[in-house]
Structure 1
Amino acid sequence: MKQVIAAVTLLILTSCATHQSPTGRGQTLLFSSQQMDQMGAQSFAEMKKQQPLSKDKKLNQYVVCVANRITSVLPSNQAKWDVVLFESDQVNAFALPGGHIGVYTGLLKVATNQDQLATVIGHEVAHVLANHSNEQVSRAQMTGVGMQLADVALDAGGVSNKDLYMSALGLGAQVGFILPYGREQESEADIMGVELMARAGFDPSQSIRLWQNMAKAGGDQGPELLSTHPSHGRRIADLQQMQTKAMPLYQSSSLRGKNRCD
């Protein structure tokens, strides 16, 4: 039985990294950019149907202005980004492959100026640039296949308490594979996002203030081990270390001090 569990776990947790992320981390990407763009477009269209959009013209202009500043420093082959402000108390934002950015009005109560909002949007756009969505769906597919094979193997072996073993195997895959990579992706997006906002002329030091605000608003996050996000304290410490590299980018940006959005 132990051999079966070990073999299937190894199948789930190992893969050939055929790509490198922008920070040099190995990635397994099973889907083409065209497929991901299609998924992103379909998901965004569905969200716009299901969730209320903000009718506040001033807030919409503000969010679009910040987002456009961020996307203006991306490679020239990037498509025009669709930016939508959703009416919701969620303190969140997201970006999807194919050039889609969603911001929730609740975020604007925590991101209190244009630089802090740029921190979040830069971070979310970085997820797209680094193919993190592709990684997530690729890993979900590989894990799903592995779990199906484990189920077959346990049936063939006539193992009692199969449901218990499957639950344990599922938890092992989740904690040992999916979540840690999620934390790596979050940290990678922090690095890339701070550089993006600095190039776009937003003050990167405000990224620290943003996450201090998030810490106050978010309460107890629970154990970092069981979260896809780094703890607030770790994230703030990492952002403080990034300032040495980000500040020169901000100071040399041609967009610094121009076209304020707020």
Structure 2
Amino acid sequence: MKNPLLLLALTALLWAGCGSVPLTGRRQLLLVSDQEVLSSSLTQYNDYMKTAPRSSSAKQAAMVKRVGQKIAQATEAYLRQNGLAAEVKNFQWEFNLVADKQVNAFCMPGGKIVVYEGLMKLVTSDDELAVVIGHEVAHAVAKHSNERLSQQMLAQTGAQLLNYSLAEKSAAIQTAASTIYGLGAQVGVMLPFSRKHETEADYMGLVLMRMAGYNPDVAVGFWQKMSASGSGSVPELLSTHPSDARRISDIRKALPEIKAKY
């Protein structure tokens, strides 16, 4: 009886947990409430910021806040104008520059965005910085963290179903099946979904930066600089990000539509 009951519970969970991404309309699985995700991420963010060394460059820090706030305002305007005003309450925007040599930035749910000083060495204008911040804001708007957590929950449920189905098999078969399932879920599902999130954030970020008045054409040159800095050293199959070449190609293809539509 355990298998049918678990399958029934899984079906009900999937039915109740569907949503769609603003701008792209892609259907997504959201099994965790916004409140739970925001509460947990805020705690992690606050813990990080307590120890993170703030940048001593007032000029660059002001640039990060200026570009971030402008994109945030455009994002909220879009949500309100498209029947998604209720989503605005989920964002308490913060844009901080941290003294770290990494060429990187990250976003926490709720609009908590951190840019590292190492990335600013590649930034020559507000437009180029808008490429990065637009991408990070897009992750928050698309609820990619919630979706990633939901995928992990689903993978765990799948592992439980596999264990039930092999309950009468030998221990060796159970171990082998679990190992294969774990590898298959990671490489075949979890990583491609993460790459899909990155590609989606690239597209949405270009739209958001254009809505904010920035020039999305600079994205190609910026990502070429990122590629030259060594960001694409991990094989795409085993990476959470698309290859630099694929990212740049996808952006080139998307730009005419974005400029015509927005």
Match of 1:235 in 2: 247
User: What are the within-5 Å matches in structure 2 for residues 130-169 of structure 1?
Assistant: 130-151=142-163, 154=166, 156-160=168-172, 162-169=174-181
1:247–1:220 CA distance, 2 compared to 1 (3 A)? closer
Which structure shows the bigger proportion of residues in helix conformation?
A: 2
CA contact 1:91–1:107 (8 Å) conserved in 2: yes
1:228 alignment partner, SS class: coil
Provide the secondary structure at the position in 1 that maps to 2:38: helix
Does the 8 Å CA contact 1:29/1:134 hold for their aligned counterparts? yes
Q: Partners in 1 of 2:97 and 2:144 — Cα distance?
A: 22
Please name the residue that 2:37 is paired with: 36
Paired residue type of 1:86: V
Report Cα offsets for 1:21-50 as digits up to 9, x if no partner. 231222110111112211221121111123
Partner of 1:174: 186
SS in 2 for 1:203: coil
What is the RMSD of the two structures over their aligned residues, measured on CA atoms?
A: 2.5
The answer to whether the Cα contact below 8 Å between 2:92 and 2:110 also exists between their aligned partners in 1 is no
User: Normalising to structure 2: TM-score of the pair?
Assistant: 0.82
Q: Is the 8 A contact 2:232 2:243 kept in 1?
A: no
How far, CA to CA, are the matches of 2:64 and 2:75 in structure 1?
18
Task: Tell me the amino acid that sits aligned with residue 21 of structure 1.
Answer: V
Deviations 1:165-190 (A, max 9, x none): 32222110001111111111111111
Give the aligned residue type for 1:26: R
1:157 aligns to what SS in structure 2?
coil
Q: Give the whole-Å Cα distance in 2 for the aligned partners of 1:228 and 1:55.
A: 31
Equivalent position SS for 2:75:
coil
Instruction: Give how far 1:15 is off.
Output: 5.1
Aligned-pair CA distance for 1:90: 1.2
Distance, in Å, in 2 between the alignment partners of 1:50 and 1:146 is 38
- TM-score w.r.t. the length of structure 1 is 0.82
**Structure 1 letter corresponding to 2:18:** T
Output aligned runs, 1:214-253, within 5 Å. Answer: 214-218=226-230, 220-248=232-260
Contact 2:195–2:242 (Cα < 8 Å) also in 1: yes
Aligned-residue identity in percent: 39
CA contact (8 A) 1:195 1:249 kept: no
Listed one character per residue, the Cα deviations across residues 92-122 of structure 1 (whole Å, up to 9, x for unaligned) are 1122222211111111112332211110110
Distance 1:152 1:54 in 2: 53
Partner of 2:233, secondary structure, is coil
Using the alignment, how far apart are the partners of 2:233 and 2:224 within structure 1? Answer: 13
1:142-194 deviation per Cα after TM superposition (whole angstroms, max 9, x unaligned): 22233345456556422326444322221100011111111111111111100
1:195 corresponds to which residue? 207
Check conservation: 1:143, 1:173, Cα contact below 8 A: yes
Q: Post-superposition shift, 1:81?
A: 0.7
SS at match of 1:160: helix
Structure 1 residue 127 and structure 2 residue 139: aligned?
Answer: yes
Equivalence for 2:21: 21
Relative to structure 1, is the Cα distance of residues 111 and 161 closer, same or farther in structure 2, using a 3 angstrom cutoff? farther
Paired AA for residue 217 in structure 1? S
Counterparts in 2 of 1:92 and 1:157: CA distance versus 1, 3 Å = same
Give runs of ≥4 in structure 1 deviating > 6 Å. Answer: none
1: CA distance, partners of 2:236 / 2:173: 31
* 8 Å CA contact 1:199, 1:249 repeated in 2: no
Deviations 1:111-135 (A, max 9, x none): 3322111101101110111111110
Which runs of no fewer than 5 residues in structure 2 stay unpaired?
Answer: 1-6, 78-84
Letter in 1 for 2:180: A
| Conserved 8 A contact 1:38-1:98 | no
In structure 1, the residue corresponding to 2:76 is in which secondary structure? coil
Aligned length: 240
Q: How many Å separate the matches in 1 of 2:167 and 2:99?
A: 48
**SS of 1:110 mapped into structure 2:** coil
